Amino acid sequence: MTRTLHVRIDSSSDRSDLEDTLAALDAGETDEVEPKPSTLSVEDLETFGRIFRPTNLELLEAIADHEPESIRELARLVDRHPPEVTQNVNELADYGLIELEQNGRAKRPTIWYDEIDVDIPLGHHSPDVAPA
């Protein structure tokens, strides 16, 4: 079964659905029931572009493909300096895109989803305004 993270641009930026899913995963509650789709709302297109820049997507793919035991191992996998990767990983964790599990003295980056589905609205459409 594919687990999907839905991402949308939404100025209201409510992350409660995502946080509920992460809490259920932490408690081990998602094995018995099919997880509901989780949505991450990003404030604006600029923030979306920063979060999903190519270097961060490369990190997400490396985590999914190799399941590194630490941020240092992740840095080796993507051939980047650990301090830069740590900064990117912390940003991704702040948005709930990855979790950092304590693994001895290291932190192990993990993801709970298999794919990301993105909804980007083009323009600001209001139902009360007719097109010109």
Q: What percent of the chain has pLDDT over 70?
A: 73
Q: Which tens digit of pLDDT belongs to each residue from 70-80?
A: 999 999 999 99
Full-model pTM: 0.74
Q: Where are the beta strands (DSSP E) in 10-85?
A: 38-42
Q: Which residues contact 66 (CB under 8 A, 6 or more apart)?
A: 74, 77
Torsion sign over Cα 59, 65, 71, 75: negative
Q: Cα–Cα distance between 73 and 79 in angstroms, integer? A: 10
The whole-number pLDDT of residue 120 equals 87
Q: Which tens digit of pLDDT belongs to each residue from 27-61?
A: 655 554 444 458 899 999 999 999 999 999 999 99
pLDDT reading at 92 higher than 70: yes
State both tokens at 80.
């980047």
CB atoms within 10 A of CB 42: 22
Stronger pLDDT, 90 or 30, i.e. the higher one: 90
The whole-number pLDDT of residue 18 equals 55
The whole-number pLDDT of residue 5 equals 93
Mean pLDDT of 1-14: 81
CATH topology assigned to domain 4-119: Arc Repressor Mutant, subunit A (1.10.10)
The whole-number pLDDT of residue 2 equals 86
Does residue 85 contact residue 74 with C-beta atoms inside 8 Å? yes
User: Phi, psi at residue 58, to the nearest 5°?
Assistant: -60, -40
CA distances from 65 to 2, 16, 111 (A): 15, 28, 11
Q: Cα–Cα distance between 108 and 105 in angstroms, integer? A: 10
Mean pLDDT of 90-119: 94
Nearest alpha carbon to residue 111 among 96, 132, 121: 96
